[in-house]
Amino acid sequence: METTDNESCKLRKIEEEIDNYYKSNPLLELPFAPAAWHLLAFAEDCMLVKTSRVDGIQELHVLASEFSCELAHSIGWIFADCEGGGQVPLAFDDSLYEASKDLFQLGEKYESFVFAYTSYSRNRIKLEVKESTIQPTAGFLTSMEYEAYNILIDSHGLEEVLSEMNPNISLINKIQRSLRIQGDRFHYKLNPTMVANMISRLKPAFDRMFLLPSEWQFSRYSLKDFREVFEAICAIAHIHWKARNMAAAQGCGAMGHIDGIYLPTCEELLRRVVRYSGVSKAKVQSILDDLTYGNRGIKHPDPALQPLIRLNPKYYAIVPNLWICSAAERNLTALLNKLPSEREIYAKLVDEKEDIMRQRFITDLSNKGFRFICGRVADLPDVDLAIVSDSEKVCLLLEFKWFIAPTTARERIEKSEEIKKGISQVLKFKAAFAENYEPLFGKLNIDSSYQLGGIVVSQNWIGYADVQSPQVPVIRSDHLIAKLRKAESIQTTMEYLKGRKYLPKEGEHYNKVDGRIFTIGNWGLKLQEIDLLVRDTFFPS
């Protein structure tokens, strides 16, 4: 996609203006602690209001997914521009509340500009400027069913998890009995029994969140250690969030705004987490250090990866919804991949992901009478997994993809290319089969009378429309396993995949919304968006 030099120069000048627009916000004149506290307190207020209006699981999922992304830019600007330290104000300030609102909402709009400009820089879309509005004129945004699938399918199973995330009456009563409200402040007594009960209630959510082997060992702690520490802090976040909701419902002034953020001292948090998790003090300290925003030399920190905000040398800020909405295992692997001391260790472990996916298919389909084959085939790519039904004379080749789930525009574009690479590998197998390539027949123990199909199976994301192939479907692993377990035959599954019946349908599951304009300063960005029509889970079988 070509853009004239004049257009490109104009777009880059606009980009610079948009990049610097945040600098006029009054929060940037404060030290980090008060600026961050005001912003984070406002962000939690937003979640308190929005979650009370949620209509269905899909809307809740989107809200949770967007929260840390919306916060990322605004807290990043404060971290980069504000002088470190300062005092935590613990007081409502009307003007700074408005400044926090402006900065938070600017971060939300800025993400759309980042997405558009990143896609433009990667030559995935073309942008043009009409008067004061920027808009795409071509690119992958023209077809939205794959992106709709990526959004809708993520909530599968969330209804079971959410039902468990609602504490039982006993736990609610424990929080209620310790809750004290005075004016616009609330307080409660946190104790080990309360935290243990919350961890127990959240176990289904944690089990879905942590899929990798718990024995994976990094330089200073294991994945098991990390999970136990995360569970303890996440339980604290849930208890604080529940207490805040109770306080607001019982008339606490300003809905408990001042105490919306949990503020332990650094020593208190270390002591509590060691006690609640059972992990050694040294390991807990290492995990807390890694999870602290901006630590370990991260130049452009992300609150999703490092959700523990250290306001000043004395206090941490635990923003409940940063922990509640966290995809903890995904975020840890993304963080480790950024740390030089951990990256090499993680790279050695990452190959095990393919083995985990393969074993899941073999175990879950063990009663179907299929043959399972994997391994090298002469000069072809390795067979990740072939599922053969000799009774049907059908073979389904699976190319696995389990990368770190993408969240930023850059990551989504890069991982879309990974999907494209997987498709090209499947096409090589299909071409070899069409040419009666004997090493492939020998490896699979089939002949030319068999039918061969090939698909890419992704653990977490299937890419954008522009990298797809009509010959090679791409589907999520959980979805394919569920389909194969229920299907009468591999043949019917192959027809289902070939017809792309797993994808959401425009007008039934989602609508494309044209013309929404995001405005920053003098410039608007016109983007096409998805309006979800599904309120509950989407998992077509």
C-alpha to C-alpha distance for 258 and 304, rounded to whole angstroms: 23
Tokens representing residue 84 in the block: 């470190």
**pLDDT of amino acid 161:** 47
User: For the stretch 406-424, what's the b/e string if a residue is b when 16 or more beta carbons lie within 10 angstroms of its beta carbon?
Assistant: bbbbebbbebbebbbebbe
Q: Quick one: which H or E segment has residue 532? A: strand 523-532
Dihedral angle, C-alpha 438, 443, 448, 452, nearest 10 °: -130
**pLDDT of amino acid 19:** 97
How many beta carbons lie within 10 A of that of residue 308, not counting itself?
Answer: 22
3-state secondary structure of 368: coil
R_g of the chain computed on alpha carbons: 25
pLDDT bracket for residue 2 (50, 70, 90): very low
Q: Where are the alpha helices (DSSP H) in 122-191?
A: 145-152, 158-165, 169-178
pLDDT bracket for residue 4 (50, 70, 90): low
Answer yes or no: are the C-beta atoms of 156 and 481 closer than 8 Å.
no
Residues 24-47: pLDDT tens digits? Answer: 999 999 999 999 999 999 999 999
Q: Quick one: which H or E segment has residue 73? A: helix 57-81
Q: Quick one: which H or E segment has residue 420? A: helix 409-434
Mean pLDDT calculated for residue range 481-492:
95
For domain 351-498, give the fold.
Trna Endonuclease; Chain: A, domain 1 (3.40.1350)
C-alpha to C-alpha distance for 205 and 276, rounded to whole angstroms: 18
Which pairs count as long-range contacts for 9-13, CB under 8 Å and 24+ apart, including other chains? Answer: 10/129, 11/117, 11/120, 11/127, 11/129, 11/134
CA angle 86, 88, 94 (to 5 degrees): 110
Could you state, in order of their start, the residue ranges of all structural domains in the chain?
Answer: 158-350, 351-498
**pLDDT of amino acid 142:** 65
